[in-house]
A and B are shown apart, each in its own frame.
Chain A
Amino acid sequence: MNELLLLSPEIVITIVAFAVLTLDIIWKGDQRSAKILPWVAFGGVVVALLATLNVWPASSSEFGIATDSAGLIPIMAVDKMALFFKVMALLTVALVGLSAVEYIEKNSPFRGEFYALTLFAGLSLMFLSSATNLVMIYLSLEFLSITSYILTGYLRRDNRSIEAALKYFLYGALASGVMLYGFSLLYGATGSVDLATIAVNLGSANVFLVVASVTLILAGFGFKIAAVPFHQWSPDAYQGAPTPITAFLSVGSKAAGFAVLIRVLVVALPAYSFNWTVILSMVAILTMTVGNLTALWQKDMKRMLAYSSIAQAGYMLIGLAAFTSQSSDNWSNGVQGVLLFLFAYLFTNLGVFAVVIVLENKLGTTNIADYAGLIRRSPFLSIALVIFFLSLIGIPPTGGFMGKLLVFGAAIDQKLYVLAGIGILNSVISVYYYFGVVRQVFFAQESDETPIQPGFVMNAVITVTMVMTLILALYGQPFIQFATDSADILAATF
């Protein structure tokens, strides 16, 4: 297949992002035309999504590799795993962009750049999910980070947005520096920047150097997925960032972090050369527990969701730990579980944030206390919130339940009983703070009973995410198949 066609989703997004920037300049001051910008961006994402699905049958267990002009250094792979994460990235960008329309109109005079930057952030996620080369991984990770810093500080007149951007930037820059030092050591130990060649040369490499480098690299990836102990940035960044960007960071960045983590673990560092299960299990346990316990006494919804998403990353790490353990035959179940979990988490978390955005637009606050009596003001939003929370906890019939079932199942399959047990215990703890919000929504008294009507776009976003959350559980077979296909291809590259 033509290599250019394999990259068609990225090409479409790049063109559309620049088109949005250009149109923004052309339409400067023309408020009515400027309203079309988000729809131009949305249209581009839909086209890219179709292009991705068009590439899907062509991808195979053989890597489709884009090389440099001399044909020497593999840079990207277009396999099913990469395409899975591209679909995730595009869905995230589409839903985030739509839920931002009203918010950005209200809070910022600059619109075009917002959609262009969101598209660029999505583009970086797509590159990251394909990268098979340390240089490309670093480049796309920095691309993602830099666009995220700008987007986090997008509300320049809001002290909290700027503060969040600075904190995110300082933590992020240091984390990427440390990760890069790990990359340089790995390059030194194996003499290559290509993940597949690294795997081959790993056998003869200096063990000390490899362990040191991988520890540093895991720190960098851990930062991206907000795993404990590299999570301190996320509550601040999530709370201060414009709410649609919080949604993007909690879903897009996390998915990309897992994409690159899975690829490095699978392609470059096959589990038999070093026992990663212990390290990953420890990080998973810490991440779940710290995230859930700190979420218990949060009063701000965005901050609570930040800790909740830290905890969710912990559950996903269980799947990875199960994957690296390989004590029984079907060890790729772990990755399959993580993929489905991420897919369910995407719709669930973006849905929660859509509700939060509507309420912030109408109420001007994200305090949980201000959600009092919401059931009488908007039954639709209240019911949606309950469904999303059920999914985050992992109670059927929701997508979150399917994800957790597969992830915990994979852990039990690999005889990681303690890990699975702590995961289940943590899910029980999380009921407390999710239902703290639900209690506020349903049972707290509130004198103000003016109904809250979300606009058409927000209604559509919430409906779509809610329906997808339910469908993933009630009619999950195609999606499980989708995740399995993506994970299987990965196992075949061994």
Chain B
Amino acid sequence: MMPIPLSWWLTVSAALFSIGVYGALSRKNAIGILMGIELVLNAVNINLVAFWRYIAPTDISGQVFAIIVITVAAAEAAVGLAIIIALYRRRQTAVVDDLDLLKN
């Protein structure tokens, strides 16, 4: 069986990263933006685990890093969603274009 070359993993990850960044920049809904950001973090995880397996399999830094990223992403999503809910309760919207109170 032929092993999958590292470059394939990196290509998938780069594609996922690009889709995520595009999503985060183009979406109007805060939840949609958050989903784009989660894609970016998943791309990072693919990168980390792939690099760990192919480049530095002797120490577990890459794996640990990936697990920490997953954990922190969960905490971040929790805080983010809480903020979105707090906003929705007051303004009945989660669309970022409607947020125009703060300006000069």
Q: Bound pair: A and B?
A: yes
Among candidates A138, A142, A159, A185, residue contacting B90 with C-beta atoms closer than 8 Å: A159
A188 touches B79 (CB 8 A): no
Inter-chain contact A166/B87, CB cutoff 8 Å: yes
Alpha-carbon distance between A164 and B90 when the two chains are bound, in angstroms: 14
Of B56, B68, B104, which one neighbours A191 at CB under 8 angstroms?
Answer: B56
Closest approach, in angstroms, between the C-beta of B65 and any C-beta of chain A?
5
Closest to B49 in A: A184
Contact B104 A297 (CB under 8 A): yes
Task: Flag if A162 contacts B90 (CB, 8 Å).
Answer: yes
Taking CB atoms, residues of chain A closer than 8 Å to B64 are 135
Q: Mark A162-201, 1 if CB is under 8 A from B, else 0.
A: 1111110110011011101101110110011110000000
Q: Using A146-B75, A177-B37, A185-B47 as known contacts, say yes or no to A166 and B90 having CB atoms under 8 A apart.
A: no
Q: For residue B44, which residues in chain A have a CB less than 8 angstroms away from its CB?
A: 177, 180-181, 183-184
Which of A46-54, A149-157, A249-257, A346-354 lies at the binding interface?
A149-157
A202 to B69 alpha-carbon distance, docked (Å): 24
Q: Collect the chain A residues with CB atoms within 8 Å of residue B30's CB.
A: 166, 170
- Least Cβ–Cβ distance between A147 and chain B, in angstroms: 9
What total count of A-B pairs have CB within 8 Å? 132
Find out whether the CB atom of A163 lies under 8 angstroms from the CB atom of B99: yes
Find chain A residues with CB under 8 A from B86 CB: 153, 156, 162, 165
The interface size of chain A toward B, counting residues with CB under 8 Å, comes to: 49
> CB distance A163 to B55 under 8 Å?
no
Q: Mark B2-14, 1 if CB is under 8 A from A, else 0.
A: 0000000010000
Contact present for A174 and B102 (CB under 8 Å): no
Surface stretch bound by B, among A298-306, A399-407, A482-490:
A298-306
Interface contacts beyond A169-B79, A187-B62: sample of 17 additional A-B pairs, CB < 8 Å, sorted by A: A72-B59, A134-B65, A135-B64, A150-B79, A163-B99, A163-B101, A164-B102, A165-B83, A170-B80, A173-B34, A173-B80, A177-B40, A181-B44, A187-B48, A187-B55, A187-B61, A193-B62
16 A-B residue pairs with Cβ-Cβ distance under 8 Å, sorted by A, are: A138-B65, A149-B83, A163-B99, A163-B101, A163-B102, A167-B96, A174-B36, A177-B41, A181-B43, A183-B44, A187-B65, A188-B50, A188-B55, A193-B61, A299-B104, A300-B104
